[in-house]
Structure 1
């Protein structure tokens, strides 16, 4: 099992959990609450990563519309997201996310209400001009996959006047992005972005969305209700993906302890899994998903531990998991 394959498996695992969190919010709390959660997640992500990302990608000296569109193209490319780019002028640049959509994989897109997808655009795309200090920069959405259009697409355009908040995102479904030519698209410097770094970044991309969702769900819905929503999504996704993920990690025939060790290692966690006569003892010294959260609420840990509970249920429905410390669990048959 290569590191890259393991990172890929962990990235897919967290990707599914993030999508599951949104779908659980839709089905349990309704489209309005789900849209607010998505808005908050993407706004927090933007504030945490956009400006530093521009510098890392060498885009901070470009015209605002071009810089914003190229950022989305390159950062999503690194994250394994399908994306296209067309630059019409220094003040107008398109991006398009063709199907299949990364964020709503497979049939899950059928469960996303129309009002949830624009929340992502309001949270991030409409706020890039504010972050750049160029209030004339807005985003025009010309199509949404959740509405049956052949992709989520739109363009950044810089106006010769400041835009009030309500004009920073608008919709124009009659327009269409020109045909994408990969030969003219921006490229990552190969020396700075070898395949191994991209694979690791792809894992981090999915994990970062889960980290943000933990914080925003607890902040928006409260520790009890938000934690329950996060944990339910974790348990369901882990049950669904356990066998697939174990096979991807090369642990399908090696038992649950091997699965946990492989998951922890590939996730960047510092943890031990000890086997004894009465079962397994899991102790985590450093949980990667909580890094960067100043004061993580215990509800976040409980929700994350439902990933373990869901995986265990799929592995052996008679086995039991019990929390024995802040970051410690006992698993018994």
Structure 2
């Protein structure tokens, strides 16, 4: 392996560690809302997150993936198959007719990683389907398109599955997502599934897209939780989740991006590498054992129109948790800031 290839592999490992961290944060945030606010509030939050993502990303994603000329049911199903595959999510796609196409998310489920699936109520999973899958026909301008869910893994079934169906008549709101638990998806055949064009999706692009897939969930979830629950409650939920996830994931992230347990010196170096791995420019200065990291901007949130300062609790929570994972008594403080684009100044030690 050449030096250049070694450097690329190292970069890709860093990107994947960032993806794992943000993935864990998003799953953890849903569980935090379930346990602190209850099932009904969690379902509303999840519905709003997935509806917002669907409205912002579905139609542009169809075009980017070259699916916008397909029949509605096929286009919707292939979109879920390919876009999730890019993000490392295991999904199966089964074509039946131009008006009926299946998708299946077999275990283990990406979004409910590991033991997290035991804490997810069925109502929360249904909210995800209502937010995204049930609205694809509306986005496509075809009110005949609906989604039929045949299994939910959080209900103890062997995966989440269902099919897009183009009916002979327009569907009312409550008809766009229905359940048919007596049905089962056909067998998956990898040889008949669509694939991304290799020329336009080289390894470098796929690795960055893998990282961005997980980060985009947090980009959507942070402003949504502020709008749904208000800044004070949202800040608490984001901060608590960040602390918990940071403490749990420091060792895994440090192994990939570089870093070791220790004191403020080690944590400051780790933090700069983390910022760089998520495309944020950061500069470190030191004075008498105190470190200051100037994060030039928060690229993830830079173009979020309804950004609120409470969203920064994602970072404060994560960094405090990661610091606790690095070593005891490493204080981390963020200088108050009102916009996502202006510098964040962190004091450490």
**Shorter-chain TM-score: what band?**
over 0.9
Deviation at 1:259, TM superposition (A): 1.1
Q: Give yes or no for the alignment of 1:330 onto 2:347.
A: yes
Which residue number in structure 2 is paired with residue 143 of structure 1?
Answer: 151
1:8 to 9, 13, 16: 16
Structure 2 contact 34–42 (Cα < 8 Å) conserved: yes
Deviation at 1:322, TM superposition (A): 2.2
Q: Give yes or no for the alignment of 1:80 onto 2:80.
A: no
Which residue number in structure 1 is paired with residue 330 of structure 2?
Answer: 319
Q: Normalising by the residue count of structure 1, what TM-score does the alignment of the two structures yield?
A: 0.97
Structure 1 contact 227–299 (Cα < 8 Å) conserved: yes
CA distance in 2, matches of 1:324, 1:138: 48
What does the per-residue CA deviation read over 1:6-55, in whole Å, with 9 as the maximum and x for residues that have no partner?
10000000000000100000000000000000000000001110000000
CA distance in 1, matches of 2:255, 2:21: 12
CA distance in 1, matches of 2:15, 2:330: 27
Q: Give yes or no for the alignment of 1:227 onto 2:227.
A: no
Which residue number in structure 2 is paired with residue 53 of structure 1?
Answer: 61
Structure 1 contact 17–237 (Cα < 8 Å) conserved: yes
Which residue number in structure 1 is paired with residue 178 of structure 2?
Answer: 170
Deviation at 1:318, TM superposition (A): 1.3
Structure 1 contact 70–186 (Cα < 8 Å) conserved: yes
Deviation at 1:238, TM superposition (A): 0.3
Instruction: Go from structure 1 to structure 2 and tell me whether the alpha carbon gap of 1:329 and 1:250 turns closer, same or farther (over 3 Å shift).
Output: closer
Which residue number in structure 1 is paired with residue 4 of structure 2?
Answer: none
Deviation at 1:302, TM superposition (A): 3.0
Structure 2 contact 246–321 (Cα < 8 Å) conserved: yes
User: Is the partner of 1:43 in helix, strand or coil?
Assistant: helix
Which residue number in structure 1 is paired with residue 270 of structure 2?
Answer: 259
What does the per-residue CA deviation read over 1:215-244, in whole Å, with 9 as the maximum and x for residues that have no partner?
110000000001110111011000110111
Which residue number in structure 1 is paired with residue 207 of structure 2?
Answer: 199
Structure 1 contact 8–203 (Cα < 8 Å) conserved: yes
Q: After superposing the two structures, state which structure 1 stretch, 143-152 or 241-250, moved more.
A: 241-250
CA distance in 2, matches of 1:294, 1:325: 20
Structure 1 contact 66–90 (Cα < 8 Å) conserved: yes
CA distance in 1, matches of 2:189, 2:103: 12
CA distance in 1, matches of 2:185, 2:314: 41
Structure 1 contact 24–233 (Cα < 8 Å) conserved: yes
Structure 1 contact 260–273 (Cα < 8 Å) conserved: no
CA distance in 1, matches of 2:313, 2:93: 41
Give the paired residue count. 332
Which residue number in structure 2 is paired with residue 241 of structure 1?
Answer: 249
Deviation at 1:282, TM superposition (A): 1.4
Structure 1 contact 239–310 (Cα < 8 Å) conserved: yes
Structure 1 contact 281–329 (Cα < 8 Å) conserved: yes
Deviation at 1:118, TM superposition (A): 0.5
Q: After superposing the two structures, state which structure 1 stretch, 289-298 or 164-173, moved more.
A: 289-298
Q: What are structure 1's unaligned runs of at least 5 residues? A: none
CA distance in 1, matches of 2:23, 2:90: 14
CA distance in 2, matches of 1:308, 1:264: 11
Q: Normalising by the residue count of structure 2, what TM-score does the alignment of the two structures yield?
A: 0.93
Which residue number in structure 1 is paired with residue 319 of structure 2?
Answer: 308
Deviation at 1:295, TM superposition (A): 4.4
Q: Which runs of 4+ in 1 moved over 6 A?
A: none
Which residue number in structure 2 is paired with residue 18 of structure 1?
Answer: 26
Which residue number in structure 1 is paired with residue 72 of structure 2?
Answer: 64
CA distance in 2, matches of 1:325, 1:270: 19
What does the per-residue CA deviation read over 1:79-119, in whole Å, with 9 as the maximum and x for residues that have no partner?
11000000000000000000000000000000001110010
Q: What are structure 2's unaligned runs of at least 5 residues? A: 1-6, 338-343
What's the Cα RMSD here?
1.2
Deviation at 1:325, TM superposition (A): 4.3
User: Is the partner of 2:122 in helix, strand or coil?
Assistant: coil
Which residue number in structure 1 is paired with residue 305 of structure 2?
Answer: 294
Structure 1 contact 228–303 (Cα < 8 Å) conserved: no
